[in-house]
Amino acid sequence: MHNLLFSLKNVWFSYLGKFPALAAVDIDINAGQKISIIGANGSGKSTLLHLLDGLIFADKGAASFCGRELNEKDFNDSEFSRNFRRKVGFVFQNPDVQLFCPTVKEDIIFGPLQLGFGKDETQKRLEKLIAILAIEGLLERSPNQLSIGEKRKVALASTLIIRPDILILDEPTAGLDPLTTRHIIDLLIDENISGKTIITSTHDLHIVEEISDVVYVFGRERRIVKFGSPDSILSDTALLSENNLVHIHSHRHKDKVHVHPHVRLEHHLQDGEPG
């Protein structure tokens, strides 16, 4: 396929050679797609994303980006590494990991300066981005002084400023209030409409439909147990339940007890009732 970006064939990975994290993973990701990786804690989602970002490398199997194999040796080539980092942006699960500079501004401009975009270009991009994300008031603050929502926004900004073609996000909405979650989802959808490939790991099933063309489900054995359209995955309650992604939810609407697996808001709307 001419627009194939990532291709993983029978990829295995273990930490320190003895703690398995990925088993026989096969994934193809095309340009412009929205991909979601869902699975319970410890099922290998973050490991897969780190592998796609060239931070770790497969023990066994073949992982390639635009037809070129992803291996440590190639990342030692500064030209390849710089081009890859310009194309692929990663937002870490823990924003405290990503925000390591003394101020928010330094954190945001860290990427473009390392990637050689130049000071004027970096400044221009920063100005544009702070207008989009409304983070002007945060620039001179230390990341220590931010709320979790602000940290996530800034972490996202520190990646978006690179303007990567592919955006990889590790649980971008974890621990956020509904409004901030909405902002982030809207931003991701806009980025996808503008042509970017979005790869997201999450266990928030409420957002999966909006941010996915294809959903991959990771099982307890750290392998992909199923993939498909969001509809086909989210309607497979047995699969989701088996992989700790849903629970049976019981509550009361006026005098009527309502029991259903907690997947989507539509469950609440079936009887014409609000959630």
Partner 1 sequence: MKEDSRNGGFVDRSLIGILAFLKNSLFAEEHALKHGFIQSLDPRIKTLTFILFIVVILLAKTIPLVLSLYLLCLLLACISKVNLGFFLKRTWIFIPLFSLFIALPALFSNFTPGEELFSFKAAGLALVITRPGALTVLLFVLRVTAIVSFAVLLSITTRHCELLKVLRIFGIPQAFVMVLGVCYRYIYIFIGIIENTYLAIKSRVGTEIHYKSGQQIVGWNIAFLWVRSYRLNEDVYKAMLSRGYNGEPYVLDDFKVNSRDWLWLAFSGVIGICITCFFH
User: Using CB under 8 A as the criterion, which residues of the chain lie in contact with partner 1 when the complex forms?
Assistant: 50, 53, 55, 78, 81-82, 85-86, 89-90, 92, 94, 96-103, 106, 109-111, 113-116, 119, 122-123, 140, 142-144, 158-159, 162
Minimum separation from the CB atom of position 60 to partner 1 (A)? 21
Minimum separation from the CB atom of position 122 to partner 1 (A)? 7
Among 145, 140, 155, 82, CA closest to 106: 140
Residue 88 or 263: which CB sits closer to partner 1? 88
Residue 55 or 269: which CB sits closer to partner 1? 55
Pairwise CA distance, residues 10 & 93, whole Å? 25
Residue 44 or 143: which CB sits closer to partner 1? 143
Residue 108 or 224: which CB sits closer to partner 1? 108
Minimum separation from the CB atom of position 19 to partner 1 (A)? 13
Minimum separation from the CB atom of position 85 to partner 1 (A)? 4
CB proximity list for 101: less than 8 A, separation 6 or greater:
107, 110, 143
Among 114, 119, 117, CA closest to 78: 114
Burial class for 228, CB neighbours closer than 10 Å (0-12, 13-18, 19+): middle
At 146, list the tokens.
């931010």
Residue pair 92/144 in contact by the 8 Å Cβ criterion: no
What string of H, E and C letters represents the secondary structure of 151-164? Answer: HHHHHHHHHHCCCC
Residue 53 or 171: which CB sits closer to partner 1? 53
Minimum separation from the CB atom of position 42 to partner 1 (A)? 15
Minimum separation from the CB atom of position 168 to partner 1 (A)? 9
Residue pair 172/152 in contact by the 8 Å Cβ criterion: yes
Residue 97 or 131: which CB sits closer to partner 1? 97
